[in-house]
Amino acid sequence: MRKFQPYIYHKSMKMKAGKLLLLLLCLKAFSYAVIATPQTCPAKDGTACGDSDDWKGEFFPGIPKIKYEGLSSKNPLAFKWYNAEEEILGKKMKDWFRFSVAFWHTFRGTGSDPFGAPTKYWPWEDGTNSLAMAKRRMRANFEFIDKLGVDWWCFHDRDIAPDGNTLEEANANLDEVVALAKELQGKKKVLWGTAQLFMHPRYMHGAATSSELGVYAYAAAQVKKAMEVTHYLGGENYVFWGGREGYQSLLNTDMERELNHLARFFEAAVAYKKKIGFKGTLLIEPKPQEPTKHQYDWDAATTSNFLRKYGLIGEFKLNIECNHATLSGHSCHHELETARINGLLGNIDANTGDPQVGWDTDQFLVDIQEATMIMLSVIKNGGIAPGGFNFDAKLRRESTDVEDLFIAHIFGMDTMARGLRNAAKLIENGSLAELVRKRYQSFDTELGALVEAGKADFEMLEKKAKEWGELKVASAKQELAEMILQSVL
């Protein structure tokens, strides 16, 4: 999900020399000057951006439709591993992945971080968050996904349309932009939509878990509208990311009451989904902390338990984000397997973090081994539809060329395709599966079957333990398992 990181200054720094202070003040003034610099659009007909929403110049001139050229290609704007129509284990590659572009990172990401101002000024931006600008971004979005060869896109309500001074004004803005999106998307589809319930100051205590009833009601109204437009655009899923659904301190928090309120909110969402005839899957995206100290949907296991406790297990699935998995102390593979074995694997936000950085960096996932492990879970799950792989990932702060948007997505798609090919080799080879089978073969016996069926009581097991005496425990063969995995990478 999208994270907002304000430009802040470290006030604890003490200046030892007047010249250093002067230099910093000059740099600060320069950064504001850069932010204020107006941008122009490179329309071939020379039309300026202005306040018009009918600008239709090419947003990515010189970028062709991205094609599969194979491993011999040296072209950075071509796929080496991802061949959309190629069949792997009975499915086309495009059907295994159902790749999606995240509107917020791709078209609203600025490159800002906690210590620096924005670095990205896309040529089509005019420095405003007007309706005209929102429509221009939407046109850029569909040109981008068309050239990339992706069929899905994802959005937050407040990313695609400006907020308003009233809920009615915000809804009207959203309607206007969504009408254009409907016109432009053609055969493209919304993988999922969501409401942005974490940026506005009203949500500082949370949304569905806010201590203020008025905020709870406003959040419900915002989700209602976001679900309606997702349904209108043919969305296949709807996501809840509880960016501030948690607490900073238990000293001033009634955790039980907040969790009960969150459950009531989800129940109301389920009821409204059915009322409007939305057939998409409702997804919850686990995350442990950031921006709150502790979020209630900490990881896949915590969220699964929440759904069971409140009788919602059949109404929701999980959207697993790999970077969130690592922040919770797990691997992405662990979170996917936890979701899968609970029947809750619904969607994957394909990204990763930096082990040397302590926050959610939302980098493109380019680790081949991690991609292979992820695809093992997806294959075991029989695929992920109606979910998919959403690139909830952003360019690095220092990557500022429009071309970089394509290169990042191409590399991410190639990495996942390579992971799929590797996972298929592991399955077809069978060595890893056989190693696992042998490890548990003692349960493939008459007594083992009774244990797994819940029919072996303690007296029966005690009798066998005495009969067998001291046991020789077999090796787990971990190094062999790792060798088998590495053999396909």
Asked if residue 448 belongs to a domain, the reply is: yes
* Residues 411, 101: Cα–Cα separation, whole Å: 13
Pair 254, 299 in one domain: yes
Pair 331, 402 in one domain: yes
Q: How many domains does the chain have?
A: 2
Residue 24 has pLDDT above 70, yes or no: no
* Residues 165, 162: Cα–Cα separation, whole Å: 10
Asked if residue 383 belongs to a domain, the reply is: yes
Residue where a domain terminates, one of 389, 405, 429: 429
Asked if residue 187 belongs to a domain, the reply is: yes
Is 308 exposed, middle or buried (CB count within 10 Å of its CB: 0-12, 13-18, 19+)? exposed
- Tell me the percentage of the chain whose pLDDT exceeds 90: 85
Pair 419, 442 in one domain: no
Which pLDDT does position 448 carry in this prediction?
97
Pair 356, 299 in one domain: yes
Model confidence pLDDT, tens digit, residues 226-272: 999 999 999 999 999 988 999 999 999 999 999 999 999 999 999 99
What dihedral do alpha carbons 281, 287, 290, 293 form, nearest 10°? 120
Pair 155, 276 in one domain: yes
Model confidence pLDDT, tens digit, residues 281-302: 999 999 999 999 999 999 999 9
Residue where a domain terminates, one of 429, 456, 474: 429
Asked if residue 150 belongs to a domain, the reply is: yes
* Residues 57, 49: Cα–Cα separation, whole Å: 10
Pair 383, 440 in one domain: no
Pair 394, 435 in one domain: no
Counting Cα atoms < 13 Å in the Cβ hemisphere of 396 gives 8
Domain of residue 466 covers 431-486
Asked if residue 19 belongs to a domain, the reply is: no
* Residues 107, 99: Cα–Cα separation, whole Å: 17
Pair 207, 233 in one domain: yes
At residue 41 the predicted structure's pLDDT band, cuts being 50, 70 and 90, is very low
Residue 30 has pLDDT above 60, yes or no: no
CB count within 10 Å of CB 250 equals 10
Asked if residue 47 belongs to a domain, the reply is: no
Q: What would the 3-class secondary structure string for the chain be?
A: CCCCCCCCCCCCCCCCCHHHHHHHHHHHHHHHHHHHCCCCCCCCCCCCCCCCCCCCCCCCCCCCCCEECCCCCCCCCEECCCCCCCEECCEEHHHHHCEEEEHHHHHHCCCCECCECCCCCCCCCCCCCCHHHHHHHHHHHHHHHHHHCCCEEEEEHHHHCCCCCCHHHHHHHHHHHHHHHHHHHCCCEEEEEECCCCCCHHHCCCCCCCCCHHHHHHHHHHHHHHHHHHHHCCCCEEEECCCCCEECCHHHCCHHHHHHHHHHHHHHHHHHHHHHCCCCEEEECCCCCCCCCEECCCCHHHHHHHHHHCCCCCCEEEEEEHHHHHHCCCCHHHHHHHHHHCCCEEEEECCECCCCCCCCCCECCCCHHHHHHHHHHHHHCCCCCCCCEEECCCCCCCCCCHHHHHHHHHHHHHHHHHHHHHHHHHHHHCHHHHHHHHHCHHHCCHHHHHHHCCCCCHHHHHHHHHHHCCCCCCCCCHHHHHHHHHCCC
| Residues 6+ away with beta carbon under 8 Å from 20 | none
In 3D, which of 221, 240, 164, 158 has the Cα closest to residue 213?
Answer: 221
What dihedral do alpha carbons 244, 362, 6, 129 form, nearest 10°? -90
At residue 46 the predicted structure's pLDDT band, cuts being 50, 70 and 90, is very low
Q: At CA 403, angle to CA 399 and CA 408, rounded to 5? A: 65
| Residues 6+ away with beta carbon under 8 Å from 188 | 142, 145, 146, 151, 152, 153
Pair 342, 447 in one domain: no
Asked if residue 51 belongs to a domain, the reply is: no
At residue 368 the predicted structure's pLDDT band, cuts being 50, 70 and 90, is very high
Residue where a domain terminates, one of 385, 411, 429: 429
Model confidence pLDDT, tens digit, residues 305-328: 999 999 999 999 999 999 999 999
* Residues 455, 14: Cα–Cα separation, whole Å: 70
Is 105 exposed, middle or buried (CB count within 10 Å of its CB: 0-12, 13-18, 19+)? buried
Pair 330, 460 in one domain: no
**Amino acid identity for residue 251 in this structure:** L
Which pLDDT does position 243 carry in this prediction?
87
CATH number at residue 106: 3.20.20.150
Pair 399, 437 in one domain: no
* Residues 181, 135: Cα–Cα separation, whole Å: 8
Residue 20 has pLDDT above 50, yes or no: no
In 3D, which of 137, 78, 149 has the Cα closest to residue 110?
Answer: 137
Q: Which residues are catalytic?
A: 156
pTM of the model: 0.88
Give φ, ψ of 347 to 5 degrees: -160, 160
Pair 118, 178 in one domain: yes
Asked if residue 21 belongs to a domain, the reply is: no
Least confident of 53-57, 105-109, 313-317, 339-343: 53-57
